[in-house]
């Protein structure tokens, strides 16, 4: 199975065998936590299948949505590399599997591989972009732009959770979210079925709300 994961394609057969010795694949159900904010990282986690919601909790208990992570990605690997507690929580929104690698053994056995290190740097760069996007949403985008961006970039999530939850993720009131969604529907920017799932969307027009 490890040979089929793109991230490990640079490893030879002996290295793959060693990686198998220090790894385990664990299944998770929808609603289960991979980890919670503040926990100490022991495993280097690689999402094989399913979908993970990454979020922080404010001092007042408010959930702050950060990212929806798709398969074939490391999860919060910066916590491993910096040896710090997880800065956010990760919960499954779609059941899936995670490759859990003993990080201390991975560090000693694999972190000298230059190709692997370059791929890790690329992965960390993607996570930095996610953080930048969250800051941009909170500090720059207005309510309509937030809704538009969420529709374009998170259609699967839009189709699986309640609108009140999406409003909470975007840090706007449910009434504001409903008003904006009705506006988009009236302007034929988006069409929904009877279960509020997206049937079609005008990506170019909706994207104009948040792309200058």
Q: What is the mean pLDDT of residues 59-83?
A: 85
Q: What is the per-residue pLDDT across 114-140, written as a single tens digit (0 to 9) for each?
A: 888 788 888 777 777 766 666 666 666
Position 135 in a domain: no
Q: What is the per-residue pLDDT across 138-155, written as a single tens digit (0 to 9) for each?
A: 666 889 998 999 999 889
- Structure confidence at residue 182 as a pLDDT band (50, 70, 90): very high
Domain count of the fold of the chain: 2
Position 165 in a domain: yes
Least-confidence region, from 4-8, 135-139, 171-175, 178-182: 135-139
Q: What is the 3-state secondary structure (H, E, C) of the chain?
A: CHHHCHHHCCCCHHHHHHHHHCEEEEEECCCCEEECCCCCCCEEEEEEEEEEEEEEECCCCCEEEEEEECCCEEECHHHHHHCCCCCCEEEEEEEEEEEEEEHHHHHHHHCCCHHHHHHHHHHHHHHHHHHHHHHHHHHCCCHHHHHHHHHHHCHHHHCCCCHHHHHHHCCCCHHHHHHHHHHHHHCCCEEECCCCCEEEECHHHHHCCCCC
Which pLDDT does position 170 carry in this prediction?
85
List the CATH number of the domain containing 33.
Answer: 2.60.120.10
Average pLDDT of the chain? 88
Per the structure, the complete domain to which residue 6 belongs is given by 2-126
Same domain, 18 and 93: yes
């Amino acid at each position: 199975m490890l040979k089929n994961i793109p991230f490990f394609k640079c490893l030879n057969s002996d290295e793959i065998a060693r990686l198998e010795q220090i790894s385990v694949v664990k299944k998770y159900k929808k609603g289960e936590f991979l980890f919670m904010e503040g926990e100490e990282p022991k495993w280097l986690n690689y999402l094989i299948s399913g979908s993970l919601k990454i979020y922080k909790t404010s001092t007042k208990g408010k959930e702050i949505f950060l990212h929806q992570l798709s398969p074939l990605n490391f999860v919060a690997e910066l916590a491993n590399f910096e040896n710090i507690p997880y800065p956010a929580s990760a919960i499954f929104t779609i059941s899936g599997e995670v490759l859990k690698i003993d990080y201390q053994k991975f560090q000693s056995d694999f972190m000298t591989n230059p190709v692997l290190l370059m791929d890790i740097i690329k992965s960390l760069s993607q996570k930095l972009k996610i953080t930048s996007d969250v800051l941009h949403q909170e500090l720059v985008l207005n309510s309509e732009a937030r809704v538009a961006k969420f529709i374009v970039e998170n259609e699967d999530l839009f189709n699986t959770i309640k609108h009140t939850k999406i409003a909470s993720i975007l840090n706007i009131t449910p009434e504001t979210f409903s008003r904006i969604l009705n506006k988009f529907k009236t302007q034929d920017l988006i069409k929904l079925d009877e279960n509020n799932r997206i049937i079609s969307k005008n990506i170019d027009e909706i994207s104009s709300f948040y792309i200058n």
